[in-house]
Chains A and B, each alone.
Chain A
Amino acid sequence: QKEVEQNSGPLSVPEGAIASLNCTYSDRVSQSFFWYRQYSGKSPELIMSIYSNGDKEDGRFTAQLNKASQYVSLLIRDSQPSDSATYLCAVIPGDAGNMLTFGGGTRLMVKP
């Protein structure tokens, strides 16, 4: 069974700090990786995608992928209270016909 694991949190960081969110996945041949942000009472919103090993930066967000170790992470620099949300890691396994598989999400709290 293909799985995506995240620490449920909450992860609490002070305003201005770097928040580091981690995700591990079980299917070694997974090729596509995504981060979604979900505010309380709202729907998941795609914020980052990454397909190759290394880092991908978009504003204050950096996604990191290490396929050999089967983990993907999301760094949020200069964290703001408005970043407080649940962050969902999602993976598309490499087998043909497979679909987006979500982790349980990590709740991030950024304290002023």
Chain B
Amino acid sequence: NAGVTQTPKFQVLKTGQSMTLQCAQDMNHNSMYWYRQDPGMGLRLIYYSASEGTTDKGEVPNGYNVSRLNKREFSLRLESAAPSQTSVYFCASSVRTDTEAFFGQGTRLTVV
């Protein structure tokens, strides 16, 4: 039982490059989330999708876009990477937005 799977696990980008982080869950959850985690900053919500077909901004959405491709998959896109986007990115999912979330293993992104 894989749970929440993120790809890639590690990525190095040059400033201005674009990339998409992929996330898939096999728990039949309705809601999915993208967080970033920086030292001393805790988890910060970038975007979330309460249900298939909807997406909403979180606390730190600037510089990111998301797509809820279907019920299982939720991708995060960086159109023009900046060094300030160097972080660890976590995807998570939950049955609903008012229930506990389960996390993927994370993507460590470095923008140089």
Which residues does A use to contact B, with CB under 8 Å?
8, 32, 34, 42-46, 49, 88, 90, 92, 97-100, 102-105
Instruction: Please list the residues of chain B having a beta carbon within 8 angstroms of any beta carbon in chain A.
Output: 40-43, 45, 48, 90, 94, 97-106
Residues of B within 8 A of A45 (CB): 103
Q: Return chain A residues, CB-CB under 8 Å to B94.
A: 100
The 8 Å CB contact of B100, one of A8, A46, A105, is A46
Given A43-B104, A43-B106, A99-B48, also A88-B43 (CB < 8 A):
yes
User: Which B residues are in CB contact (< 8 Å) with A100?
Assistant: 94, 97, 100-101
Q: What is the distance, in angstroms, from B81's C-beta to the closest C-beta of chain A?
A: 22
Q: For the complex, what is the distance from the CA of A3 to the CA of B41, rounded to whole Å?
A: 14
Which of chain B's residues have a CB closer than 8 A to the CB of A104?
40-42
| C-alpha gap A45/B3 in the complex (Å) | 12
